[in-house]
Chain A
Amino acid sequence: MAACSDHPNIECLTYSAVREVSGNAGDFTVTVAKRPRYINESLCTGCGECTEKCPGKVPDEFNLGLAKRKSIFFHFAQAVPRIPVIDPTACLMLTKGKCGVCQKKCGAGAIDFKQTEQLVKARVGTIVVATGFDIYDASLATEYGFGRIKNVLSSLQYERLISASGPSGGHLNKPSDGKPAHKIAYVLCVGSRDITSNNYCSALCCMYAAKDAMLAREHDAGSESFVFYTDTRCSGKGFWQYFEKARSEYGVNFIRGRVSRITEDHSGNPVMWYEDTKQRRAKTLTADMVILANAIVPAFGTDKLAAMLGIELDKFGFIATNSFSPTDTNRDGIFVAGCVGGPRDIAEAVAHASAAAARAAETVTREAAVPAIGNRG
């Protein structure tokens, strides 16, 4: 990301949204709304002084609500560009008209409460859509108790918990009482391969669950890991060996059976109800913490963006592509890269993005008189 933003031929518009697209391949005009950060970007040095004393306390989106952030904040430590943002729904100055602490703290005088949305027009030759994905809201799968049972977490929450820079400093502590979790279960296919939610395989969860389970064992050798799977979908070179390693070297327990229901026992531990289909028995398992492998779903707003771009969606809501031209949309000059076109893992997404870049370059070089990117107006 940093390399991208530093590139002389690339202009990054972050914290922005596409409002309108017109024109055709070789000559598109894209109207982008730059949302106000309430910070003068050219003055800000990224020192972070402003965030220190802000009285705001808001659930931190990046940590999926596992920690709190201020009303003026950096989205995450490596955010590009390193310029904070004021959350207008939480900031006291913007909601109630009093406070201004950050303004006093900022030596560069960069805080600007009067900033408004700015429309930017860009003429471009080609467009690559790479807006990514969201994870399935597991609270919709009511049988799993996500959002109700404290110790049932989503896979992304788990990533934050086990991250050394995460809210718990990399310790797998139970949200219910802050005590370390020793018995951890991973429930796969949550919202995937299910006609009641998303009738496709999310492609990554089997593998990352194996990784997650190994991480937990590396972190605490005394812990126990249980992975509940429908089928092991480990397609790709070395994937199955990786899965096997989790089983044989890390002692991860793999149980074939999709978890039916999670309830909470009297001490706040999640209880999983499932059928061990190999042993042909309905059983329960009580764990300290349960991690749900949420499905990969189209990012919020993908439908609107597609409508603006005039491109089609597939029946799942991802951008439609063709098997033989996986980066091409139905419109000439508009391409997709990564999960916006369907679930794919990092390696695949990188390859996909490279292909999309090549296809995009093809379009621009084919059309001779293409204005340089960033040539506005």
Chain B
Amino acid sequence: MSTVTKQPRKAEKAEEKAPATVFEPSILAFACNWCSYAGADLAGVSRLQYPPNVKLIRVMCSGRVSPIFVLEAFKKGADGVIITGCHIGDCHYQDGNVKAETMFKKLAEVLRVLGVEPERLRLEWISASEGQRFATIMTEFTEKVRKLGPLLSPEQIKAQETGPAESSDLKELVRETGVYQCIECGKCTGGCLMARFNPQVSPRLAMKNFFVSYFSHKQPLKLLSMDEVWYCLTCETCHYHCPAGVDFAKFIVWLRSEAIKLGKTGTPTHGGVMHAMMEFQALGLKQNRLDWVDSSAQVDEKSDTMYYVGCLPYFEPIFTETGAHPLAMARNTLKILNALGIKPSVYEGEVCCGHDLYWTGNIEGFKKLAALNLENIQKTGVKRIIFSCPECFYTYKILYPQFFKTVEVETVHMMQLLDEKIKKGELKLGRLEGKFTFQDPCRLGRLLAIYDEPRRVLKSVKGLDLQCMEEIRKESICCGSTHWVSCSSYTKQLQKYRLGQAVDTGASTLLTACPKCQIHLSCAAKDLKTKMKIQDYTEIIVQAMEQA
């Protein structure tokens, strides 16, 4: 069937004579079974020539091509990826190609921000009768990519390989997480936000199963189902209520790193694209992550204060349809900082903080990103980093020092800064009528005990009526996932429950302070068609600033 291998490898011959003059790009093409693959076949039987660089993968429908396929292909050395399918209206599954088109647009934007030239990704509709078209497109695409040169160097590709799995020090883990102290009281399970909806969940039992697995079978995961390892939201509710101080979420991170060694990953949300995108940032491509900065915003490259933006430029294209606008948080943060007289630097070389990789047990991936960020701190010489995202803040403040002993930079979250400046009267806020309620983010709240600052900040807006939901502060309910794993009908029920509590307060807007809370709750609000408006708190602050 393959039309590729029959081709004489002209380029190789050329190489023999004058090595390294012609670059042979590696092209991956996805072709749908019904149209494009048949088109390729036609090209073959018609003896139409097209470059042998193209490696063809047949999928049942272009809609099956998950963004992770493309990201993984680029990571593993593809220089160009082309997705082909039936013409719109011809899809054998009605609208698979429409889905492919939607996916493609988001993916193209993500890749652009990641620093992959847009020309390296292409989407084409090729029918079964368009053999010639297939050959032409492939030739043209290959030539275009050839001109661009390689995406990753062989070193960059090699650097992704992880060495042999290190054996973890179990004794150390047991001591650090305190799992041995468990008195089996069940308080963790009873309070677990997942256990409320998923009757299979019991952190207490998971620990018990682990001990029996480990001590009777010498295999830590033997008696654990993968669900048990991957359902956890790592919201830390159990930890902060455990009478024995067991840090179950940390233990889960360890279990996950063990599971990954066995090749058993969980069910990442969004087809795994989030984690792949984060790992991609560690490859060292020049990203385009600052396009969002308005020309009116005042930034200063030489400032010793940096605003760390995190993954907001990536979340923006992926989640627009939920109604969430992650980048608005970044723009508003800059506006607020400028109003406070702070001209921060925003750094192009910034990479993802690694939070999500850490909590999914991908410790190596986390460390790579962390090392890059720490290198940046040294390179730029910043003294203070301001965060708008609670997860980035937590990662810098708590996780980095755990892995890399010296992190000499002051870390400040916007809520702390705002609280301080408002107290001093340095930020003028006007009047804003309305009933609001506030969602404590896990990382800012439970994990860092920043509960009062957001409330003081919001209450300083005159006219703003802040209502309390039923479970707040230490008992706050997680938005459904902190690290893009295991979004399920259970997490949807959790979100529905939370939105119900917000509705019960009589508020019309639920204010969030974490991009993930905003995304997840907006997604749920849309699914459930509730009237509750989900808004990032920075928007309210900027509005109040404009009223002053």
A residues with CB within 8 A of B: 142-143, 189, 193-196, 230-231, 256-261, 263-264, 266, 273-277, 280-283
Contacts and interface: CB of A to CB of B under 8 A. Distances in A.
Interface in B241-258: 241, 243-245
B195 interface: yes
B196 interface: yes
Most buried by A among B183, B185, B201, B471: B185
Contact of B185 (A261, A277, A282): A277
A273 B475 contact: no
A195 B243 contact: yes
Nearest to B243: A194
A277 B191 CA distance: 13
B471 A260 contact: no
A260 B245 contact: no
20 contacts: A143-B475, A194-B243, A195-B245, A230-B185, A231-B183, A257-B186, A259-B187, A260-B188, A260-B189, A260-B241, A261-B190, A261-B191, A273-B190, A274-B186, A275-B190, A275-B204, A277-B184, A282-B190, A282-B195, A282-B202
Contacts of A276: 186
B205 A196 contact: no
Contacts of A282: 189-190, 192, 195-196, 199, 201-202
Nearest to B472: A142
Contacts of B474: 142-143
Contacts of B241: 143, 260-261
Interface string B221-246: 00000000000000000001101110
A283 B204 CA distance: 14
Most buried by A among B189, B196, B204, B471: B189
Contact of A189 (B184, B195, B201, B243): B243
Most buried by A among B183, B184, B186, B504: B186
A261 B477 CA distance: 12
B223 to A, nearest CB: 14
Interface string B160-193: 0000000000000000000000011111111110
Contacts of B473: 142
Interface of B: 183-192, 195-196, 199, 201-202, 204-205, 240-241, 243-245, 470-471, 473-475, 504
A261 B472 CA distance: 12
A133 to B, nearest CB: 20
Contacts of A143: 191, 241, 474-475
B204 A277 contact: yes
A196 B245 contact: yes
A282 B195 CA distance: 6
9 A-B pairs closest in CB distance: A260-B191, A260-B190, A275-B186, A275-B189, A282-B195, A194-B243, A274-B190, A258-B185, A257-B186
B472 to A, nearest CB: 9
Given A143-B241, A275-B202, A282-B201, A263 B470 contact: yes
Contacts of A283: 190
A263 B471 contact: yes
Contacts of B504: 266
Nearest to A271: B470
A142 B241 CA distance: 10
A231 B183 CA distance: 9
A356 B186 CA distance: 40
Contacts of A260: 186-192, 241
Contacts of B191: 143, 260-261, 273
A266 to B, nearest CB: 8
Nearest to A265: B470
A261 B191 CA distance: 6
A116 to B, nearest CB: 41
B287 to A, nearest CB: 42
B202 to A, nearest CB: 6
Most buried by B among A193, A260, A263: A260
A231 B188 CA distance: 16
B195 A275 contact: yes
A281 B199 contact: yes
A12 B407 CA distance: 62
Nearest to B181: A195
Contacts of B201: 282
A274 B244 CA distance: 16
A142 B451 CA distance: 13
Contacts of A266: 504
A196 B204 contact: no
Contacts of B471: 261, 263
A3 B138 CA distance: 105
A189 B244 CA distance: 13
Most buried by B among A142, A263, A275: A275
Nearest to A261: B191
Contact of A258 (B190, B196, B199, B245): B190
A210 B470 CA distance: 31
Contacts of A277: 184-186, 189, 204
A92 B474 CA distance: 41
